[in-house]
Structure 1
Amino acid sequence: MPDNKKKPARSGSSSGKKTAAKSSKPAAKKPEPKSEKPARRGLDPESKAHIFIPFILVLFALFLLLGMVTDNWMGFVGKGLRWLFYGLFGGAAFAVPMLTVVLAFFWRNEVRDGTLKYLILFQVLFLLFLDGMIHLWTGGTVRFDIAAFWENGTELCGGGVIGGIIGCALHSLVGDVGAHLIGIPAIIIFGLSVFGITPYSAYIHIAYFIKKRREEAAENPRGKHERRVFRIKPEPEPVEKTYPKVRRDPNNKHRFVPDVEVGEGADGTEAQPAAEPDIRPDGTAEAKEPPVSDDDIPPFDIPGVKIETVKAFTSASAQGKVPEKSHGTEKSELEAIFGDTSAVDDAVRKFAEEQRAKAAKSGSEVLPDGSEAELEISRTPAAPGENNIPEIVKKEYRFPPVSLLRLDTSPKNVDISDELHTNAKKLVDTLASFRVRTRIVNVSRGPAITRYELAPEEGVRVRAIANLVDDIALNLATTGVRIEAPIPGKAAVGIEVPNKTVSTVYLRELVDTETFRKAQSKLNVSLGVDVAGEPVFLDIAKMPHLLIAGATGMGKSVCINSIITSLLYKAKPEEVKLILVDPKKVELNIYNGLPHLLVPVVSDPKKAAGSLHWAVTEMERRFELIEDVGVRDVKNYNNVTKDDPDREFLPQIVIIIDELADLMMTAPDDVEESICRLAQKARAAGMHLIIGTQRPSVDVITGLIKANVPSRIAFTVASQTDSRVVLDMAGAEKLIGRGDMLYAPVGASKPIRVQGAFVSESEVESIVAFIKDNDGGKAEYSTDIMDSIDRAAAACGSGKRGAQPDDDIDDGGDPMLKQAIELAIESGKISTSLIQRRLSLGYGRAAKLIDAMERRGIVSPPEGQKPRTVLITKQQYMEMVVNRSEELE
């Protein structure tokens, strides 16, 4: 019996995995340990060697440069290096230290990306072509004479030996003109490649710049013509006003300190710094009054800001006492701008008294005179041409720590040689009893199954082994035996036998690996472990769409949770957005409130169909933007327009549908059409579909959907027919469940057997809670998208309750209930008098609306004469509207 093929142990955190991939010789009872070759480790940019190499390269470049430009500074070694490099490269020798510095600058990034060899190759090609052209430009001899090349190179005439060889070769083959036509473009291309700029990316940026300039040039003459026809004088360009940028105070996360450069005032004295505004939890700004002196008055305007309400004023402004500036002039700056300010003071004082009176009537708390001013500033962006206020920078997204995931604590290094030897012997004997002669060539053990690789003798048909699957299962006293005949890429037949003890693959084992961390794609997710114990990852961007099917309880929902969790560990909210469709209402609602969500988790089947319709509309809109720029996909669009403030950044969007069967029952035509259109075109627009179903029948997974969704995952299914619906082949009916899957990526000839990663509900809850806490606790849903989904859902018109989007939140036909709920949520408290004033309703109707909100649990029971307290947040209300929650019925 031949020796077994032992696979090298994996490095990194995955090397400690329980029984990752074991190969043994079943013929021997206790195989002797063999000397294993050390595992080949990849380059680690954080290692000490790669930290010091750039410094060594810079020192070498400096030493070489000084040795070439000086006589005795670098001693004998410097003279020797100068003689050597001058003789080899001639005038191009000075490019060697410069390229060495560039190599040192990009060293660690290239090592991390695995492209160091390409950088060195581009530098060598750039130096060779540059040296050859310098030889031709500086009058080097075109006669092939190495001695003359060396002598001329030491005198910086020509390109030395290397430049002379290349220059003479080009001159002899294509002539002087041809040498320039080849050499100059090669120098430009390889020179740009040294700095990571490919010719295609340079072409895209130049073409976009030229196109934008043409559009601007086409608009300018049109404007001049209109002004000439209508005799309109050109408007003077507005003077741009600068405002202080806001930076965050590290000592207090609720306070922002304006980063202001304090200069000299008009009178030569040092100006006072600006006041520190307080940011309240409700998003309003509380501006503290700075110390006002007689020599300095703050400007009396806030450009670009619309003041909605003023709750209180300082005592000075309320009483009309405005200190005057003393600049040696008769009028203050305020009077110079507005004239007599007494009328303004009276108007301000009158307005403040009216606001206090209104606040006292509505029962709200009134601040006493002399307190700090509180200005509630509108968050609506200023119109084009207006000056914008300083923006408060949102918290940077913090990736959840790996410690939130469960660590595998099961015992390691369990002796399984007896089990492997016994099963291997039974396999060979069982096949021999049917006159099928085989031999074991390799054994691979995974978490759930072990694959025995058998090589049949000459003359044995592969189909003869595949037909004995039931007899093999009988002799091994097990179920779920699967035969892969032949194994792709091997001259062997694989017999997959379930392990007696199934090991759980935890998601942390995959997320905490170098492969996952170094993946460039933001849509790279962890899937599980294959039969050899190697981790399996998938890139959703390359799928580009995925179908997940399996019977109830076989691991489909856990797989979807693993995919979503991996995305949370890989992508920021501004990079990847999610739309989650959960018709079952219990699987994905845990993710509500995440900043990655465009809208709350969609549970209503009608609105789910509307979500797909919106996705089609968004896809077409993105294609128009991509076409305007002149690129092919979203990635190139974002790269080209990243410095253009007029172009929006387009994040990637992943649409996850947990149960397709329910949607196909609600609106089959609309759902199928939207899925097919997205699957056909949405890849270039950066939009991807992940479709899950527990009923893989032909009426759910139609032929059009299968044809446009090339990547599939099949968990255990009930019959061979269901397996053929999902994978176009049998095999999924023999899986053992508990995350056991067949993964068929796009382009694969046969599916891969994978044990899916497990993530518990408590782990998901802790990760979601961490992200929500660090994001401020409030999800920013897009109201425009929600309105579009409502309109699309109403257009579907095939729902069980009709097509009116708002009929389930009306109370007995009263159309004002929705407005009353929104008023309550915005105000924080609600009363009958407030509804009467704001909605212009009578007392009886307002009281009925209050009672309707109380029955739905939106407001609290009555507390005497006090206003009712609102019990839900705006985020919860938006989720209720999207999902048509029963609380609103």
Structure 2
Amino acid sequence: MPEGLVLIVNTVRALVRTAVFLVRNIVPVSVLSVLGWLGYRFGWLVPVLLPALVTLGLSMWAGVDRPSFVRWIARPARARWRLIAVYRRDWQPVLVTAGLTKVHKGREYLPSLVRVRCGPTSDRVLVRMLKGQAPDAWERVAVNLAHGFGATLVRVRDGDRPGRIWLEFVRKDALAVPIPALPVPDGSAVDLSGVVIGRCEDGSPWRLRLLGTHVLIAGATGAGKGSVIWSTIRALLPLMLAGLVEVWAVDPKRMELSFGRALFERYGRYSDDPKGGMVNMLEAAAEDMNARAEQFAGVTRSFTPSHEHPFRVVVVDELAFLTAYCPERDLRKRAESALAVLTSQGRSVGYCVIGAQQDARKEVNNLRNLFPDRIALRLDEDEQVDMVLGDGARNRGALADQISSVPEIGAGVGFVRLEASPDPVRVRAAYVCDSDIRDMVAYGVPNLDTWGAA
């Protein structure tokens, strides 16, 4: 190639790189240019005082209204910094190593970084994929991406349009510290479409929907199923005392729910009547549910709790005992039939079934598809994650099998997959200890001795 042509090509490349640099760094380049012009035009005291005044103004803003300062200044600035110092710096080598680039006719094609958003504990990186690339290609190498960019884990989310995805890089565990029992809410603040029982990974309240759904909780021994159940009951306590909500508790283990027995409208445990007391309760609930459906037919399509027809929550602490482990075959069939009726027809007439189980296998509970909202706490095997939350949940970041077995770290931590969204959300339920339950009982049944005698 002639020397003159080589010089032209190199000059064009340098100009293009300079233009790209200026576009990518338009804000700092513009600021420096303005300060330089002010120094040249008015003297160098002006560009020295101006940043000092801006810093003083920002400090006052942060002191007066910190949330708005964080939203409009701190997080965008941090996102810009991490875009340059973390993601753009290592973007090509990490993606090449992970196998997410393509080479065609000697030219390397690289997915594009679009933007970065920073939260308190994670970064969200918007990526424009290569033509013909699919999100599952990124899901398969999520571990590679996490190590490459120094994150604890990476989740892949759908983007704002086809061809784009969000990569959620988790920097630190916001749920590592147990959450104490939440205060008993005021009755007017209880919303059955989302009772607050803990916290999500992004710091927002974890709102568990009860009205119009059923909830399945799956987790190994010590995973914190009791935290979810008792936090839910605690959130419902004001409406329970007002007569607008009833909790029917089925307690085969005779341990978890017996502590708050005085709070429940009906309570059944295996030792009370091993010949079918718990099953009779479920059948009674199914019968009442059918009566409600008959009464509401042609009158209303939506349910509103009332004293005549309270919202009824049926809590089954160990669902697998009734569907698989009960020694009486006839009782298993009756229990499964009653649960099938409640979960398939009860949502629209004010019934919600909350079922907890340790074993996630289908042969243990073949009714799990009738539970629209599911919670996966710590599980023993990675295959069980998709059994509980649905196919592809683990690839999308629901690593329930990797939750710590240390109670102080992992109890109550889990992943939620809601009916309306395919993406799992990491959450932690508040821990309701024995003394908290005693206080709830004393709050709900002040004359406990008289109640017990009755």
TM-score calculated relative to the size of structure 2: 0.66
C-alpha spacing 1:496/1:460, structure 2 compared with 1 (3 Å): farther
Match of 2:81 in 1: 28
What SS does the aligned partner of 2:352 have? strand
Aligned match of 1:714 in 376, 381, 386?
Answer: 376
Aligned match of 1:484 in 148, 156, 168?
Answer: 156
Aligned match of 1:777 in 439, 448, 451?
Answer: 448
Match of 1:415 in 2: none
Aligned match of 2:127 in 447, 451, 455?
Answer: 455
Aligned residues between the structures: 359
**Contact persistence 1:478–1:498 (CA under 8 A):** yes
C-alpha spacing 1:477/1:689, structure 2 compared with 1 (3 Å): same
Q: CA deviation at 1:675?
A: 0.9
Match of 1:672 in 2: 336
What SS does the aligned partner of 2:359 have? coil
Aligned match of 1:681 in 327, 334, 345?
Answer: 345
Q: CA deviation at 1:25?
A: 3.0
**Contact persistence 2:156–2:165 (CA under 8 A):** no
Match of 1:741 in 2: 414
Aligned match of 2:300 in 624, 629, 632?
Answer: 632
Match of 1:762 in 2: 435
- Measure, in 1, the Cα distance between the counterparts of 2:243 and 2:159: 43
Match of 2:105 in 1: none
TM-score calculated relative to the size of structure 1: 0.36
**Contact persistence 2:286–2:341 (CA under 8 A):** yes
Q: CA deviation at 1:572?
A: 2.7
Match of 1:698 in 2: 362
- Measure, in 2, the Cα distance between the counterparts of 1:763 and 1:489: 47
C-alpha spacing 1:575/1:466, structure 2 compared with 1 (3 Å): same
For the pair shown, which has the larger CA radius of gyration, 1 or 2? Answer: 1
Gaps of 5+ in 2: 1-23, 28-65, 102-109, 405-409
**Contact persistence 2:389–2:417 (CA under 8 A):** yes
What SS does the aligned partner of 1:656 have? strand
Match of 2:290 in 1: 620
What SS does the aligned partner of 2:259 have? helix
The one-letter code of the counterpart of 1:616 is A
Q: CA deviation at 1:482?
A: 4.2
1:76-225 equivalence runs, <5 A:
none
C-alpha spacing 1:469/1:502, structure 2 compared with 1 (3 Å): same
Match of 2:317 in 1: 658
Aligned match of 2:259 in 562, 574, 590?
Answer: 590
Q: CA deviation at 1:726?
A: 1.2
The one-letter code of the counterpart of 1:554 is A
- Measure, in 2, the Cα distance between the counterparts of 1:423 and 1:749: 27
Residues 197-245 of structure 1, C-alpha deviations (whole Å, 9 max, x = no match): xxxxxxxxxxxxxxxxxxxxxxxxxxxxxxxxxxxxxxxxxxxxxxxxx
What SS does the aligned partner of 1:746 have? coil
Match of 1:250 in 2: none
Q: CA deviation at 1:689?
A: 0.5
Residues 479-511 of structure 1, C-alpha deviations (whole Å, 9 max, x = no match): 6x2422425779432234361674546366687
Match of 2:388 in 1: 726
- Measure, in 1, the Cα distance between the counterparts of 2:211 and 2:180: 21
Match of 1:430 in 2: 94
**Contact persistence 1:589–1:601 (CA under 8 A):** no
C-alpha spacing 1:592/1:779, structure 2 compared with 1 (3 Å): farther
Aligned match of 2:137 in 464, 468, 483?
Answer: 464
Match of 1:290 in 2: none
**Contact persistence 1:714–1:727 (CA under 8 A):** yes
The one-letter code of the counterpart of 2:338 is S
- Measure, in 1, the Cα distance between the counterparts of 2:183 and 2:90: 34
Q: Percent identity?
A: 21
Q: Hey, which of these two has a bigger chunk of strand by percent?
A: 2
C-alpha spacing 1:444/1:580, structure 2 compared with 1 (3 Å): farther
- Measure, in 1, the Cα distance between the counterparts of 2:337 and 2:291: 18
Q: Does 1:558 align with 2:227?
A: yes
What SS does the aligned partner of 2:348 have? coil
- Measure, in 2, the Cα distance between the counterparts of 1:748 and 1:437: 26
C-alpha spacing 1:532/1:652, structure 2 compared with 1 (3 Å): same
**Contact persistence 1:577–1:654 (CA under 8 A):** yes
**Contact persistence 1:427–1:472 (CA under 8 A):** no
Match of 1:535 in 2: 205
Q: CA deviation at 1:439?
A: 2.8
- Measure, in 2, the Cα distance between the counterparts of 1:22 and 1:504: 24
1:382-461 equivalence runs, <5 A:
429-434=93-98, 435=101, 437-439=111-113, 441-445=115-119, 450-456=122-128, 458-459=130-131, 461=133
Aligned match of 1:497 in 156, 159, 170?
Answer: 170
1:795-814 equivalence runs, <5 A:
none
